[in-house]
């Protein structure tokens, strides 16, 4: 989303640079896809067994070096002192849960600021703040504990859908008085959004909604949507009930829509910031595969994950397995999404 420091003075890539980056990325994720399966039963093997097609498939490099167009440097603005305090508290909690794992033993970047040691008594604590992924690892996912579904990442809980959304498929249906959008977040975690075209005010401030309250209007041929009233349990990069979005949906041609959104929360960022990207229309044949969201009902994966965690605890108690506090199966560094944390196999776009 934001411009890497090494591209600080560069707004766009040339076609040659994009081709070279695509080649480099394909080589990195290709190596990871084959190498991660060589040592069966390792944490990396188990973590990668879920679906390599998801984690090692990547779109072609775009023209822009950053989706952020304001501030002009293409970087997310500085966070407030209040937000930094929260992040520090969450980081300390995260490091406490990591300290007995190989992540800290091997001094991987995910343990930066932490130290290797015995399991922390803080494993019995609830997180200092409730957010979508309450136990935050280097990748923002759940780590090293599965006491209940709240410990797990929001993707595992079928709760990954959020606004603003910068990836995945959208089916847009327009009528005179409203615009309906189906968001396919992946793994059946889609959701349906209805944007009324109205001059009516937002709902009362005490009404809080998971994806906020949208109010649309037309400015020429551009759909402008104001979104407020988010739930305290909503989460976009640390922003919750104070998140305010102004979206602009502009049709550039019969195949392309430009989506631009200004993001504001004075409790999190020191100033608003704006992101843009273009959406391309798929062929009708490709569109036929999409249907209603279907993840949460029958989410047997979560039940199986928690049952497995209890079995690991019983095995450890009986002397048949390692202490679960020493294991980390997600968001723990090493390889993530096909890339290493650092070195030659790190993501060249980070």
C-alpha distances in angstroms, 282 versus 53, 157, 234, 255, 287? 21, 29, 30, 8, 7
Could you read off the pLDDT of 155-180 as tens digits, one per residue?
Answer: 788 887 889 998 778 889 999 999 99
What pLDDT sits at residue 137?
42
What pLDDT sits at residue 129?
75
Residue 249: pLDDT above 80? yes
Give the mean pLDDT of the chain: 84
Q: What domains are defined for the chain?
A: 5-70 (no CATH), 81-155+300-336 (no CATH), 169-287 (2.40.128)
Highest mean pLDDT of the ranges 104-108, 226-230, 300-304: 226-230
Mean pLDDT within 291-296: 72
Residue 277: pLDDT above 50? yes
| Entry field: residues in the chain | 350
What pLDDT sits at residue 141?
46
What pLDDT sits at residue 327?
86
pLDDT band at 72 (very low <50, low <70, confident <90, very high): very high
CA-CA distance, 103 to 188, in Å (whole number)? 31
What pLDDT sits at residue 38?
54
pLDDT band at 299 (very low <50, low <70, confident <90, very high): confident
Is pLDDT larger for residue 93 or for residue 336?
A: 93
Question: What residues pair up with 259 in beta bridges, in sequence order?
Answer: 249, 277
Q: What is the pTM of this model?
A: 0.86
C-alpha distances in angstroms, 107 versus 95, 99, 234, 265, 331? 12, 10, 33, 35, 15
* DSSP string over 80-104: PHHHHHHHHHHHHHHHHHHTTSHHH
CA-CA distance, 1 to 9, in Å (whole number)? 16
Residue 336: pLDDT above 70? no
Element (H, E) at 306: helix 300-317
What pLDDT sits at residue 138?
37
């Amino acid at each position: 989303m934001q411009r890497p420091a090494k591209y600080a003075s560069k707004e766009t890539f040339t076609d040659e640079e994009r081709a070279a980056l695509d080649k480099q990325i394909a080589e990195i994720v290709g190596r990871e896809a084959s190498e991660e399966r060589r040592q069966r039963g390792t944490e990396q093997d188990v973590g990668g067994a879920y679906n390599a097609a998801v984690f090692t498939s990547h779109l072609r490099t775009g023209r822009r070096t950053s989706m952020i167009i304001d501030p002009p440097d293409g970087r997310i603005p500085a966070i407030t002192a209040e937000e930094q305090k929260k992040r520090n508290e969450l980081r300390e909690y995260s490091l406490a849960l990591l300290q007995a794992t190989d992540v800290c033993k091997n001094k991987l970047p995910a343990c930066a600021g932490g130290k290797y040691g015995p399991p922390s008594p803080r494993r019995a604590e609830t997180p200092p703040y409730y957010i979508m992924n309450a136990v935050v690892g280097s990748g923002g996912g759940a780590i090293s504990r599965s006491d209940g579904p709240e410990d797990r990442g929001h993707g595992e809980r079928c709760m990954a859908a959020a606004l603003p959304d910068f990836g995945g498929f959208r089916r847009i249906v327009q009528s005179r008085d409203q615009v309906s959008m189906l968001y396919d977040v992946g793994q059946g975690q889609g959701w349906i959004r209805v944007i009324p075209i109205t001059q009516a005010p937002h709902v009362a401030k005490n009404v809080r909604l998971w994806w906020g309250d949208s109010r649309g209007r037309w400015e020429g041929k551009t759909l402008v949507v104001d979104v407020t009233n988010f739930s305290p349990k909503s989460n976009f990069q640390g922003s919750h009930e104070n998140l305010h979005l102004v979206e602009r949906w502009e049709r550039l041609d019969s195949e392309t829509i430009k989506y631009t959104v200004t993001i504001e929360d004075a409790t999190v960022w020191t100033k608003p910031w704006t992101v843009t990207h273009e959406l391309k229309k798929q062929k009708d044949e490709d569109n036929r595969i999409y249907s209603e969201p279907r993840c949460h009902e029958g989410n047997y994966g979560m039940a199986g994950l928690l049952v497995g965690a209890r079995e690991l605890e019983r095995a450890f108690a009986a002397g048949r397995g390692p202490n679960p506090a020493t294991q980390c199966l997600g968001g723990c560094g090493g390889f993530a999404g096909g890339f290493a944390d650092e070195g030659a196999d790190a993501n060249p776009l980070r």
